[in-house]
Every structure is written in structure tokens, then in C-alpha cells.
Amino acid sequence: MKKKINTFLEFIGHFFIYFSCYFNMPKLCAHLIYISILKNKFFKKKIKKKRIAIVLDRAIGHRDIEIIQESTKKAPEFLFMRRSITKVILFYFCNKNRIFFNYVKPPVNEKDYFIQNNERRIAHEYFWTKIILNLKNKYLDKKLSFITFNFTYYAEAALYAGCIKNNIPVKLWHKEGIKTDLEADLEAKTWGVKFRHIFKYFNKISVYNELVKRMFVKIDKTNSKKTIVNGCPRIKDYKIKKKYNKKISTILFLSFDSRRGIPNYKENKNLNWWFSYKKVIEILNELSTKKDLEIIIKKKSNSIGNFDNFVDKKIQIFSYGTAQKYINQADIIIGHNSASTIEALVNGKYVMVPFFEKNLKLKKYLYNFNKDLIYTSKINMKKNILNLLNKKVSFPLDNSRHQKTIKYYLGNTKNTTGKYINFLNS
């Protein structure tokens, strides 16, 4: 019921935002956005901090922000703005004569942004300039900034332009840091070229690792000076400081994307991890007969196919929530090219990476895992799992030999909080 009420309110809010565009009323639009931003603050104390960071909301970034906010009083006050608002306004400036559409999910896409003619683009940016000016006046005694999580969010570009014209900094807190070198190279040549012009709006850029910084510099050399490697704050959620003893009794399979890590070149169109995925399901089904063993599959929305009908009923399948709680509870984790697999190494668990593919050339598309984690034989993986069952182990395991992999993808997290505060307050 609460979700339906929120959806209805969002629809009404977006409806009025659209009509503030229709009647050229940026002041009203700014007020509606201001109310939307403050929605979660109605029953809380007045904002006391001098600095305010308005986050263009995306759920994937919430935990990083929470960690920084909880770690220090020097963090700015974080407020959240729906990214769909920018899409409603873009839709108006692309399709002026259309009134009836779903205001919660405006039918606008990347193509609409790129084919926007110069006159409408200028009008769009001017409208946002007026909105930002009015928002700035509402936070008159505060130092305001905006945060976004990806450079490819096309609907936000006019907002960035409005910020620059009002001397309000825009910061890119980049969230897509886990990728192979080959993927990074492809992204620089494709998305990087397509959205190169967006980088001029960012006064600071935060990335997890050196790989992504190199990618951004390859896109635009001017990114070199404003890109900072801050590491991944979420690593704190996985570090276990206190040792504990436990019998091995739980396996977690982190379901993975069929093409994760494989660059989307034409010659790679038939390459995928389907064979390895299928063999892991076979292993789990065979192990499900063990009464003292709990098997869990954590699915992702983009994981391979629908294998639910092929999974033994004794195996639990979850598709909601983050992988964190499942990793913390598991003893053996089967994973692949994902941040969660790296986080399992941080967590000090037994990690197994399946590579059962007959095409050995695919191995170059695996993340830089220590070779002792990679299993090329279904028989060996199953044998090692059976050898570990009921064995009493002191967790977390020593992950020192995996530090190179952890730092390569999640960055150096020494003084992470201090680095993020410098990024946010500069």
C-alpha cells in the first residue's frame, strides 16, 4: 500500500514539474524539486551542516554514502533527488506537444538527448540554469554541490550546465569500477567518445581504482588532474576483525552475467560463460543430497537464463537484496567476474571461480584472480568442496595473497574516509 501511495505522489509531482516546463515557470519547478528533495526530512531536525550535497539518486550508491556519513562528522549533509525528474524535463524539451504519458517513467531515451536540436538544447539548459538559481537561493546560507554516479546519465547534462552557470560544483562519484582491462579499453573507445563532452561539467571525479582513472584519462587528458582514486568504501562491510571458528556447512553461488568481462566486439558475439554456469548448477544439484549442507543461490537480474527449473528444490534461491548478508553467512563462495566475488575475498571466505570452458581463449576475459582460485575441472571443484565439508575452520581466512587482486579492483582503502571528505568538500 505504501509503495502505491508513493508511486501516486511521484506521478502527481512529475505531472506538475512537466507543466511548470509547459508554462515556463522555472521558479515553480525549483520549488517542486525542493519539496521532493526534502521529502525525507519533514520529520527530522533542521539541516545544520554548512555543506549540502544533492545526490542524483541511484540505489547502488546508497551504501557508500552511508559509510562515509557514519564515519565522520565532516561529511556534508546528503539530500537525494530523483533522477527521473531530469528525464521529465528532458522529455518536455524533446516532445513539447505531448501531454499524456507515464509521468513516473517518462518515455525518453539517449537518442532523444543526442538528436535534440540546438534551439531546444539551449532552452533546456537555460531552464535548468533558472531552476538551479532558485534552488541556490533556497539554500542561501549553505554551500551546495551535486553528485552523480555515472558520466553516461544523458538526462542530467542540462542540470550540470545549469550548475556550472551558477558556480555550483558537480562531482562524479563513479560507481562502475569493476571491469577487465579489455572492457575499460572498449568503454573508452565507445561510451567515452560518445559522452566525452560531459566531463567538462565535473570539477572532481572519484574512482575506485587506477584502472578506471586510466580509462578516464584516455577519454580526456584533462581528467588527469581532477580524478582521484579513493577506493571502495563498501570494503568496510566485508572486513572481519574478530576471528571465529565454524564448521563449513554453507555454500553460496553468486549467479553471474553470461558475458561479464567479455568486450562487446562483433568477433566476440558468440562468447559467453554459459557452459561454466551450467556445470556449477550440476555440482550444486549433486551436493544437495548432503543433509548437513546448506546451498544458496543469489541471483542477479542479468544472470544467465532461467535455470530455476533445473535447480534441486532443496537449494534456496534469492533474487532480492544485496549479496553482503549472504557472503557474511557463507563458508564457501562460488563466484565469477563480479564485485561480490572480490568482496568475498575481503571477507576471508573460501572462494572458487569456475572456468570449465572448452575455449581456453576465454580465460583472458577473467578478472585477475590468483590462479589457485580458478577451477578448470568440475570434478576438482566438487572434490575440494567435499574435502572442506564439516571441517572446522578459523575465519576469516588469511587473504594476504589476494591483496593484489583486491586493491586492483576495489582500490587502496587506506584512509578512505579522509580521501572522500577531501573529494566532497573541495
pLDDT tens figures, 259-273: 999 998 989 999 999
Residues with Cβ within 8 Å of residue 165, at least 6 apart in sequence: 125, 129, 132
With a cut of 90, say whether residue 21 has pLDDT above it: yes
Enumerate the H helices of 220-297 as residue ranges: 223-226, 235-238, 274-287
Instruction: Report the SS3 class of residue 40.
Output: helix
Beta strand segments in 316-416, E:
316-318, 332-334, 350-354, 374-375, 392-395
Our measurement of the distance from residue 394's CA atom to the centroid of its chain's CA atoms, rounded to an integer in Å, reads 32
Q: What is the structure's pLDDT at 241?
A: 87
In degrees and rounded to multiples of 5, residue 52 shows phi and psi of -125, 130
pLDDT tens figures, 329-350: 999 999 999 999 999 999 999 9
Q: Which CATH class is domain 242-410?
A: alpha beta
Q: What is the structure's pLDDT at 413?
A: 83
Report which secondary-structure segment, H or E, holds 222: none
Q: What is the structure's pLDDT at 42?
A: 45
Q: What is the structure's pLDDT at 39?
A: 58
The dihedral sign for the CA sequence 69, 71, 73, 76: negative
pLDDT tens figures, 271-307: 999 999 999 999 999 999 998 899 999 987 655 556 6
Q: What is the structure's pLDDT at 323?
A: 86
Q: What is the structure's pLDDT at 46?
A: 72
Enumerate the H helices of 23-83 as residue ranges: 26-37, 62-71
Helices first, then strands: H and E counts in the chain:
18, 14
Architecture of domain 2-232+413-425: 3-Layer(aba) Sandwich (3.40)
Our measurement of the distance from residue 177's CA atom to the centroid of its chain's CA atoms, rounded to an integer in Å, reads 8
Q: Which three cell numbers stand for residue 153?
A: 546519465
Please, are residues 50 and 425 in contact by the beta-carbon 8 Å criterion?
no
Our measurement of the distance from residue 182's CA atom to the centroid of its chain's CA atoms, rounded to an integer in Å, reads 20
Q: How far apart are CA 389 and CA 377, in angstroms?
A: 19
**Model confidence band, residue 43 (pLDDT cutoffs 50, 70, 90):** very low
Q: How far apart are CA 370 and CA 404, in angstroms?
A: 9
Q: Which three cell numbers stand for residue 311?
A: 535447480
pLDDT tens figures, 55-76: 999 888 889 999 999 999 999 9
To 10 degrees, what angle do helices 210-219 and 181-189 make? 20
Greatest Cα pair distance, the chain, in angstroms, is 71
Q: What is the structure's pLDDT at 349?
A: 97
**Amino acid code (one letter) for 402:** H
**Model confidence band, residue 370 (pLDDT cutoffs 50, 70, 90):** very high
- For the chain, the domains span 2-232+413-425, 242-410
Q: What is the structure's pLDDT at 151?
A: 97
With a cut of 70, say whether residue 206 has pLDDT above it: yes
pLDDT tens figures, 352-365: 999 999 999 899 99
**Model confidence band, residue 210 (pLDDT cutoffs 50, 70, 90):** very high
- Provide mean pLDDT across the span 173-181: 89
- Provide mean pLDDT across the span 131-142: 94
**Model confidence band, residue 309 (pLDDT cutoffs 50, 70, 90):** confident
- Provide mean pLDDT across the span 16-30: 96
pLDDT tens figures, 80-129: 999 999 999 999 999 877 888 889 899 999 999 999 999 999 999 999 99
- Provide mean pLDDT across the span 300-319: 76
Please, are residues 282 and 379 in contact by the beta-carbon 8 Å criterion?
no
**Model confidence band, residue 214 (pLDDT cutoffs 50, 70, 90):** very high
Mean of the per-residue pLDDT values of the chain? 92
Q: How far apart are CA 113 and CA 153, in angstroms?
A: 10
pLDDT tens figures, 372-419: 999 999 999 999 999 999 899 999 999 999 999 999 999 988 899 999
Please, are residues 333 and 349 in contact by the beta-carbon 8 Å criterion?
yes
Give the CA distances from residue 243 to residues 28, 246, 326, in Å, rounded to whole numbers and listed in that order. 57, 10, 18
- HEC per residue, 118-168: HHHHHHHHHHHHHHHHHHHHHCCCCEEEEEECCCCCHHHHHHHHHHHHCCC
The residue to which cell 511548470 is assigned: 20
Q: How far apart are the first and last CA of the chain?
A: 42
Measured from the Cβ of residue 135, the count of other Cβ atoms closer than 10 Å reads: 24
In degrees and rounded to multiples of 5, residue 340 shows phi and psi of -65, -35
Q: Is the peptide bond before 354 cis (omega within 30 degrees of 0)?
A: no
The residue to which cell 563466484 is assigned: 335
Tell me whether the CATH fold assigned to 2-232+413-425 matches the one assigned to 242-410.
Answer: yes
With a cut of 90, say whether residue 160 has pLDDT above it: yes
Q: What is the structure's pLDDT at 406?
A: 95
Please, are residues 347 and 187 in contact by the beta-carbon 8 Å criterion?
no
- Provide mean pLDDT across the span 153-170: 98
Which pTM does this prediction carry?
A: 0.91
**Beta bridge pairs of residue 70:** none
- HEC per residue, 76-130: CEEEEECCHHHHHHHHHHHCCCCCCCCCCCCCCCHHHHHHCCHHHHHHHHHHHHH
